[in-house]
Amino acid sequence: MTTAPVAEAPAVPMTAKRRGAQLVMLAFAIVVVMGAYASVGLGIDGQIPSGTFTYGLGLAVLMFAAYGVLAKWAPWADPLLLPLVTLLNGIGLVFIYRIEQTGQAGASATNQLMWTALGVVMFSATLIVLKDHRTLQRLTYTMGALGLLLLVMPLLPIIGEDVNGASIWIKIGPLTYQPAEMAKMALVIFFAGYLVAKRDVLALAGRRLFFIDLPRVRDLGPVLITWGLSLGVLVLQKDLGSSLLVFGTFIAMLYIATQRTSWVLIGVLLFVGGAVLAGQLFGHVQDRFEVWLDPGNPEFYNRELGGSEQLMQGLFAMGSGGILGTGLGQGFPREIPLSFSDFIIAVVGEELGLTGLMALLMVYALIVERGLRTALAARDPFTKLLAGGLSFLLAWQVFIIVGGVTRLIPLTGLVTPFLSAGGSALLTNWILIALLVRMSDAARRPPPQAIQNEGLTQVFTR
Amino acid sequence: MNATIKRAAVACMVMFALLMINVNYLGAVKAGDYSTDNRNKRSFYARYGVDRGWITADDGKTTLAKTIDTGDKTFRYEREYPSGRMYAHVLGFFAPESARGIELNENKLLNGSDPDLVVGRLIDFVSKKPPKGASVDLTLVPAAQKVAYDKLRASGKRGAVVALDPKTGAVQVMVSLPTYDPNDLAAPDKAKVAQAYNKLAEDDTDPLLNRVTEKTYPPGSTFKVVTAAAFLEADRSRDPETTVPAPQVLDLPDTTAGLPNYGGAACGSGEVTLRFALERSCNTPFGQMGMDLGWDKMREESAKFGIGEPIQFELPTADTTIGPDEETAALAQLSIGQRNNQQTPLQMAQIASAIANSGVLMKPTLINKITDPGGSVIEELKPEQLTEALSGEVADELKQMMVSVITNGTGTGAQIPGVTVAGKTGTAEAGDAPAPHAWFIGFAPAENPETAICVFIEAGSAGNDATGGGTAAPLARDVMQAVLEAK
């Protein structure tokens, strides 16, 4: 290896693989999870649960397997991503186990561990199969079609399934699946490919209004289509969360691709307008809004559907957690309806307190930061856009659900990535992380060494 | 694209910052509101997660309230009151959402949250043991409490009995009837308890009311000892043999009505000694005394006995008053314990207690001692003097006259063989109701008083011809005897 003079240092500093550090962090994450698991048992009945070792070992085996795949097929990948995700997934398992102990129907740590295993398989498969993520760019329209299909699947007869008033499930035999989870990722890939191709056109300035360059009217097409799609999801499936998630991510990516603030404004205006209109026309949107403004109102609290009981119980739980929390196993998660799903963050807030919540948010923020860093370091626009889009998707999803549960914004149902019980989301998110890992590997991999030691130019060979 | 990615990164950072700020706001600012919301069951569960301290009497020998470890995960510790209704108004109850009586007043010690118990609580917390509270020992004398409760209940009357140690202010007996079973209100079941409570609350006989402290009644003739005290204190040349005018009907100024004696009877021959007036409980001499003394003097003397003064007691107490400064006719009526003169049985027992204790009024208390879970005493009864209601001399003279009331006056029903009893009866008109309240206050033994008592029988529950001497005095005798025997 030639030692490059300082002046020739590339824009992104050449990093080491840091595999040792990654291994240590991974082991640490597993130790934290095992400790938490034992603590649940101690909190509930003063005994370390018999399964601590089995669960811990299970998780360890899975994660070291994932690490092995990563080390072999993406050796230059960001060393933080896998340990951080392991920590989240593990903490999620611990809390689902904890909620299962209260006998809340639907919470099953064994199921979640099984889905985690499948998630790791998908993670590995993605890394092994997808040698170069830019292959995805060629599948732009396939992904778009796939995303659309997945989104409308729950509305189809026979396989569509209504749960709790929202039609976001499909059922094939004994298996239920939330296709929106996969759809959102397919759509992000589509957006990335599409926007890279069209960004020059979309960035063209039309008329100027005040200090904002408006885009040309004929370029509004894609935005309007996505907007219509999101509102369709909102109205037909009553899935506010996914609608907000997809549309928000699209606007963010549009902005990243075109550098046009006007797109953001148009997007926000369109969505707010659409949401207000939907609110006028459809009761459930308005319900959410009322509940957000005054959740303590007994009228809303006692409302059978779309009431504020779950929200209030979540707030009670987080309030009682205080700064340090009640301790694992010592809160009352069964007071919160469906606490293992959308409201798992409230259970974390109760048992681990403010401190635990802040730490958890920090872990999410770190993952997002690593993703965005990958986007910055990436060498081609598609990768930049895809990594940026996926990272934003993750941040946006955490914001929507945690903000909803903590009453920062109106509550719209979404799972908390990696924490909530639910296989569909877990699988998708593991694939999402695999994509980020793949892209970070590409971004951090040292450029081919055919560098002319002249001036500041670098030659890339592809 | 890096510039926009960086801006997107800032947007993500802002989102996480907003979440974190909101989480802190929630945990630090809003948490208080949430913890008191009654839809939040955590405080409800927490109540039953504490190994609550026991309540005992007689230096721990009698258990009045105990905590049972049920082993249940949600409601581990349940409260039980072995003696049921007998101590209901003293103990109160420990219900899912509320508490009353000693259970409420000593709650912080009983549930271990008192600052005095912080060390033990910390150790429990670290060792993951459920918190344990301090136990509270009451001054009550169980044997006498039982006599008071059984006798009053057997008579089927509504009323109150309270006895105090005149030297320490320790409450020896506190019974109020009708009563209720606190066990019904202690179950960890909100709906069941609410139903039981509502039934009690809607009951016309008001079983939840502690008639000893929470309600005032006209004290009738028992108040004459206060008037007599003011009369003697006002001029030290007076004594029990001082003669006072005693017409059959006292003319009240500015009204056509006069103030008669009880039953319209005559009192001696128009002029009697103070002792005789008290023995026979004549109304007219005391009405006249009150008018002569004036409202200010009456108010001053009553205040020295604690009337109208805020009282620090473990149980809630109703405000007592001799009534406002009205026309002179009203003064005559309040001097014999009528008109707007309103006292609690506890207050009347306090008056008897002050006279028994040579004029020194002690602060009443129910707490004998409080012991932390480790067994060390953290609080013990320290007799506390409230006021000097009377000079020792006047107290002595009143005492002599009250002994005469028992030996040859209206209070013969309270005589105890071999013990000198002092007392005063009262039969008070209760508003427009035809039946009167029957009262008795007194103490024994007169030479060295060990117990001061007030018995109150509510109007209407003992017939229209109830009197202090006939209805209240015998009960007072039995209770005082029980206290003396238990000593």
- pLDDT average per 10 residues of sequence, chain A (462 residues): 46 67 92 90 80 82 93 91 95 92 82 92 94 89 87 76 66 73 89 86 69 67 74 74 87 88 84 81 78 85 80 89 85 86 91 92 96 92 94 96 92 88 90 95 78 56 54
Instruction: Give B 19-38 residues with CB within 8 A of chain A.
Output: 19-20, 22-24, 26-28, 30-35, 37
Among A406, A245, A69, residue whose Cα is nearest residue B24: A406
Q: Are B91 and B52 in contact (CB under 8 A)?
A: no
Are B159 and B456 in contact by the 8 Å Cβ rule? The answer is yes
Considering only CB atoms, A376 lies closest to which of B5, B28, B41, namely B5
Question: Chain B contact for A114, CB < 8 A?
Answer: no
Architecture of the domain defined by B220-367+383-486 = 3-Layer(aba) Sandwich (3.40)
Q: Does residue A370 belong to the interface with chain B, where contact is any CB pair within 8 Å?
A: no
Residues of A in contact with B19 (CB under 8 A): 361, 398-399, 402-403, 406, 408
Residues 6+ apart with CB under 8 A from A145: none
B45-74 confidence digits (pLDDT tens): 878 888 899 999 988 899 999 998 887 777
ipTM of the complex: 0.90
Selected residue with higher pLDDT from A461 and B450: B450
Q: pLDDT tens digits, residue range B266-293?
A: 787 888 999 999 998 889 999 999 999 9
Segment B359-418, tens digit of pLDDT:
999 999 999 999 988 888 988 999 999 989 899 999 999 999 999 999 988 989 999 999
CA dist list (Å): B170 to A123, B213, B349, B382: 77, 15, 12, 10
B1 and A388 in contact by Cβ < 8 A?
Answer: yes
For B71, the closest chain A residue by CA position comes to: A45
B161 in helix, strand or coil?
A: strand
- In which region does residue A315 sit, left (phi positive, over 0), alpha (psi from -120 to 50) or beta (all else)? alpha
Instruction: Give the N- to C-terminal CA distance of chain A in Å, as an integer.
Output: 20
State both tokens at B96. 């899912």
Q: Are residues B18 and A408 in contact, defined by beta-carbon separation less than 8 angstroms?
A: yes
Task: Count Cβ neighbours within 10 Å for each residue of A87-126 and write b for 16 or more, e otherwise.
Answer: bbbbbbbbbbbbbbbbebeebbbeebbebbeebbbbbbeb
Q: What local confidence, expressed as pLDDT, does residue A456 receive? A: 57
Would the CA dihedral through A379, A381, A382, A388 be positive or negative? positive
SS3 at position A205 = strand
In chain B, pLDDT over 90 holds for what percent of residues? 57
| A391 at B interface, C-beta within 8 A | yes
Q: Look at residue A1 in the predicted model and tell me its pLDDT.
A: 42
Catalytic residue among B135, B176, B221, B335: B221
Strands B367-371, B377-380: pairing is antiparallel
- Comparing CA positions, the residue from A343, A413, A433 lying closest to residue A180 is A413
B3 touching chain A per CB within 8 A: yes
Lowest model confidence (mean pLDDT) among B128-137, B191-200, B338-347? B128-137
Q: Is the predicted pLDDT of residue B128 greater than 80, yes or no?
A: no
Within 10 angstroms of residue A131's Cβ, the number of other Cβ atoms is 11
Contact of A440 with A370, CB cutoff 8 Å:
yes
Catalytic status, residue B221: yes
* Residues in contact with A261: Cβ distance below 8 Å, sequence separation at least 6, in sequence order: A212, A255
Calpha distance A388→B371 (Å, rounded): 65
d(CA A318, CA A307): 19
- Structure confidence at residue A430 (pLDDT): 95
Burial of B312: CB neighbours in 10 Å, binned 0-12, 13-18, 19+: exposed
Between CA B446 and CA B421 the distance in angstroms is: 6
Q: What is the mean pLDDT of residues B184-192?
A: 87
Sign of CA dihedral B42, B45, B50, B54: positive
Tokens representing residue A200 in the block: 């020059």
Cβ contact, residue pair A319, B27, below 8 Å = yes
Q: Would you call A62 an interface residue with chain B, using a CB distance cutoff of 8 Å?
A: no
Q: Is A318 close to B42, i.e. CB distance below 8 A?
A: no
Q: Give the C-alpha separation, B459 to B428, whole Å.
A: 9
Would you state the pLDDT for residue B252? 84
The more confidently predicted of residues A223 and B9 is B9
The pLDDT score that the predictor gives to residue A24 is: 93
Residue A128: closest CA among A70, A171, A51, A197? A70
pLDDT at A461: 56
- Which of B1, B3, B34 lies closest to A316 in CB terms? B34
Give me the residue spans of the domains in chain B: 220-367+383-486
Q: How far is A39 from B424, CA to CA, in rounded Å? A: 68
> Quick one: pLDDT at residue B321?
93
CA B33 to centroid of chain Cα atoms: 34
Q: Hey, is the C-beta of B127 within 8 angstroms of any chain A C-beta?
A: no
Backbone angles phi, psi at B136, to 5 degrees: -115, 125
Most confident of A407-411, B209-213, B326-330: B209-213
Mean pLDDT of B196-215: 93
Give phi and psi for B460, each to the nearest 5: 95, -20
At residue B430, does pLDDT exceed 50? yes
Q: What would the mean pLDDT of B443-451 be, rounded to a whole number?
A: 93
What token pair was written down for A329?
A: 């196993």
Are B306 and B387 spatial neighbours (Cβ–Cβ below 8 Å)? yes
